[in-house]
Structure 1
């Protein structure tokens, strides 16, 4: 008796505005998929979802036709679970000469030393930056991110220095 095989269709994942196909092994996590696509800002720190070095943003429907940007640990998420989803990595937040306000505040305030955890912090900060109705930065948004170099004061300073997104910010426009 021979086992029948069925071909699994490739997953289509939008990453930083570009469609990518994923047809790899089902055990491949989102972090390994992204790094395989040449997007290396997200890092593997603990591979257990404890350090946040691999954080990315995922667009989630908010139930009323708007988008909510959610930070997730890509080391825990199967790549195939992103089929039809939109992902923004730290690379995708800044483009060309444009530096995202979160990345700019991290640089200005000295929130990065070795830089290993910085992209994850930036994605987690960006999710809070874009939170609808945010009046001040909720530092709990960073509770899943660890830094071993800077201490947390400059990172906290960067988070608290963030204003609100500009009206022309494409990611913010998705929330309205």
Structure 2
């Protein structure tokens, strides 16, 4: 048995195949924003945000949910594309809706990766390398780039920005 935080709420897992991926578990539990594109960690459609330690505070890291095994989340905190909507659409989602998305299959993964960069401390502009793990099969990179570069700084009252001012959880051992 183990627990982790998902989109700010504690989730208790009692019985699960230890080979279950985060992506598979999320989709089985109704969080279908993350997609399976390649199942090899190369397309980024399955991206989720993992809260990682950053000194005395935290940072978001975009990780491939198709490669991450669910039990590895014990004691961790993860955010999905659905969890970004704390008070309506997230600014990254809004930017993508204004022309950055084409067919939409890759969009959740791009949104998650953009969010990790959006919240990066001391960000000046937008580092497009943050999107290097995401593929768009519609060749819509210019509109995605434009959406990313249109993003300003997070509002200090943004709940996710505030979460980053606190330490990340320490991973818990599995029972």
Using the size of structure 1 for normalisation, the TM-score is 0.89
Partner of 1:75: 66
SS in 2 for 1:68: strand
Contact 1:132 1:175 in 2 (8 A): no
1:83-104 Cα distance to aligned partner (Å, 9 max, x none): 11111100010146x1100000
Question: What is the aligned residue count?
Answer: 164
Contact 1:62 1:68 in 2 (8 A): yes
Contact 1:68 1:175 in 2 (8 A): yes
Partner Cα distance (1:151, 1:158) in 2: 11
Contact 2:21 2:66 in 1 (8 A): yes
Structure 2: state its 5+ residue gaps.
Answer: 166-175
Contact 2:101 2:140 in 1 (8 A): no
Runs of 4 or more off by more than 6 Å in structure 1? Answer: none
Matched, 1:158 2:147: yes
Larger Rg: 1
Contact 1:13 1:20 in 2 (8 A): yes
Matched, 1:121 2:110: yes
Partner Cα distance (1:27, 1:151) in 2: 34
Partner of 1:87: 78
Partner Cα distance (1:58, 1:69) in 2: 6
Structure 1: state its 5+ residue gaps.
Answer: 1-9
Contact 1:113 1:150 in 2 (8 A): no
Using the size of structure 2 for normalisation, the TM-score is 0.90
Q: 1:134 to 1:61 in 2, by over 3 A?
A: same
Alignment of 1:124-163 (within 5 A): 124-163=113-152
